[in-house]
Amino acid sequence: MAFLPRRALSAAVLPALCTLAFAAPAQQNDGTDTAVTHTVFQPPPVEATAARLAQVELPDGFEITPFTTGLKNPRILAVDPSGHVYVSRREQGDVLLLRDEDGDGRADGEPRQVLHRPAVHGLEVHDGALYIATVKELLRAPIQPDGSLGEPELLVDDLPDGGQHPNRTLAFGPDGKLYVSIGSTCNACNETNPEHATLLRVEPDGSSRWWGRLLRRTGDDPCCDRLVSVRVTQSARTLREVPYRAKQQ
């Protein structure tokens, strides 16, 4: 049995091996800026071979099979009620559409590009539309019967700068509000923008913006109500449950 997530899921695939050194300003406790050198190491992607998939432990009666391959750098999946599967690719700056008309658990044919937007990442399906997040933007595009997207509507164009944590994830909560994760600009910063390292809560049309304080990098499911536990990443290896209360900006 092949299966797909019903909600948006993170599916990070790292690009080719490279080492990058660059200078960037670092904030100090006295408010001054100091130039520091960063080295970013990105290991090569690992192919999902049959041998590696066989190592995944599953409950009795389940099996795992590839839905599609060759997507290079998929990040987020979102599935609408009709079974259209949307995949964001941040490096390629696009959203792909996958379909499984015959229900065999595999995508039919080649993926179809339905949106091009630089640094696109977060996806969420709600009320017949696909919500899309880039570093600075929140957009909404109507889903057509064939799965293609209508003209995107720009709802928000002033999300905080990305810094080292630019990936935005989206989810609608049980209150009908849209929650947008906003990471911090680095791992140890004196943030000057109160919306960094927060969850933003907006109406479906992008209005009435509220924020709730979190940590430096949010997790893959920002859905929450006024006072709930939100999964966040405190470090590269630690997941914690922390409470959050919404505040009006």
Which H/E stretch holds residue 51? Answer: helix 50-53
pLDDT at 183: 86
Q: Out of 63-67, 196-200, 210-214, which region has the weakest mean confidence (pLDDT)?
A: 210-214
pLDDT tens sequence across 144-188: 999 999 999 999 999 998 888 889 999 999 999 999 999 888 887
Q: Which of 70, 111, 110, 66 is nearest to 87 (CA)?
A: 111
Largest CA distance in the chain: 62
pTM above 0.85, yes or no: no
Give the pLDDT band of residue 244 (cuts 50, 70, 90). very low
Q: Side chain identity at 158, as an amino acid letter?
A: D
Model confidence at 5, pLDDT cuts 50, 70, 90, reads very low
How many residues are recorded in the chain? 249
Write the single-letter amino acid at 38.
Answer: H
Q: Has residue 10 got a pLDDT over 60?
A: no
Tens digits of per-residue pLDDT, 229-238?
333 333 322 2
**pLDDT computed for residue 214 by the predictor:** 53
Residues 6+ apart with CB under 8 A from 157: 136, 137
Q: In Å, what is the CA distance from 244 to each residue of 211, 217, 229?
A: 10, 14, 7
> Per residue in 27-61, is it b (16+ CB within 10 Å) or e — as a string?
beeeeeeeeeeeeeeeeeeeeeeeeeeeeeeeeee
